[in-house]
Amino acid sequence: MSNTVTIQSVELYKLYIPLIEPFITSLGTDEAAENVVVKIFTNEGIIGFGECSPYMPINGESQASCFITGQYFAKALKGKNALDIEGCIALMDSIIYANTSIKSAFDMALYDIASQHAGVPLYKFLGGDNTKTIITDYTVSIGEPEKMAADAVKIKNQGYPAIKIKLGKNGKKDVERIRAIRKAVGNEIPLRIDANQGWKVNEAIETLNALHEFDIQHCEEPIARWKFMKLKKVKKNSPIPIMADECCGDDHDAERLIELDACDYFNIKLGKSGGIFKGLKMVRMAEAANIHLQVGAMIESRLAMTAFAHFSLCSPLIEHFDFDTALMFREDPVTGGIQYKANGVVEVPEVAGLGATIDESWLSKMEKVIV
């Protein structure tokens, strides 16, 4: 088997799909997925697919910026060895700082090519096994307590085993939101909360202590990402475990948070890490420090969500899965990929590579550029 698979051309597509209803967090409101799909062609006929869902408040990228930056990467990667993933990542990093969302789409496509070339499913290529049951939570957008409680009841009745709740707009009101939800759904179903940086430091501590009685599994990113030096104080004074999200982008962030002893969990999102290559570094760091993990998402389709599921099988410390946003799409453009089963169970495809593509009828309708 050859150790060289040459990149011949790259296609970039703008994917736009409205959501069933607006997705609302403390950072803003999203009414559609505005993503970028990357398709890498090689001399061996292997085609790799990747996708990113840029989110301006978190990674500072938009669909438009990813579409432009992706063309720089495509031009630079033409003629390069797709199997030299580390070299391709280093090349992209040398071209432009950050831009982790679009980098993750190229990273994903490269891993799709490499695992297809190896003839194994992506999770196996990453050293994982498919013995763990992946079960996604489902998210309640932030709003009025009564609406949030009603949404939570729907999620419980659909059989999801855990409910994730967006908070971060006034700590005292957030307590009322959780009180209403817990009253509506009862005490058996786990609740997870995500403040999306919405609280001040003291407000976070007060709110987390007030929420303790409602049996919360963990809280994501309680304070502003740039206040990471204060996150240890929140963790020390919180009865609820703290999960770093926005302040935990790549492996450098993970190293810093471990040194600070700032959190109990990492939420790894490939759109923040820059892709699987750096995400794996974060997993190994977390394993060494006994930091438990969640793998999360932005607003990706089942294409990228399939990569996240494969990635989730690489370590036993990955124990929470936040893969619900693909279920919020009005239409599904993906062929193959993960399958959502009853009660939040996610099944990973047992085929070589990623095992997911965008349907050609969809691609033909999208704005694209060929490099």
Q: Which residues are part of the catalytic machinery?
A: 166, 194, 220, 245, 269
Whether 41 and 9 have beta carbons less than 8 Å apart is answered as yes
Rounded (5°) CA angle 315-249-72: 110
- Type and span of the H or E element at 8: strand 7-25
Q: Which two tokens stand for residue 287?
A: 């394993």
End-to-end CA distance of the chain: 27
Q: Is 242:253 a contact under the CB 8 Å cutoff?
A: no
CB distance 42 to 11 below 8 Å: no
CA distance 352 to 347: 15
Q: Are 57 and 27 a contacting pair, CB within 8 Å?
A: yes
Residue 29 phi, psi dihedral angles, 5° rounding: -120, 135
**Structure-token match 């009685």, residue found:** 213
**C-alpha distances out from residue 153 to 150, 187, 273, Å:** 5, 12, 34
Nearest to 189 by CA among 148, 144, 157: 157
Residue 202 burial (C-beta neighbours within 10 Å; 0-12, 13-18, 19+)? middle
The 3-class secondary structure across 194-230, one letter per residue, is ECCCCECHHHHHHHHHHHHHHCEEEEECCECHHHHHH
282 and 250 Cβ atoms separated by less than 8 Å? yes
In whole angstroms, what is the distance from residue 266 CA to residue 174 CA? 23
The count of other CB atoms within 10 Å of the CB of residue 293 is 23
Helices 276-289, 302-312: crossing angle, 10 deg rounding: 30
Q: Mutual orientation of helices 276-289 and 100-118 as an angle, nearest 10°? A: 90
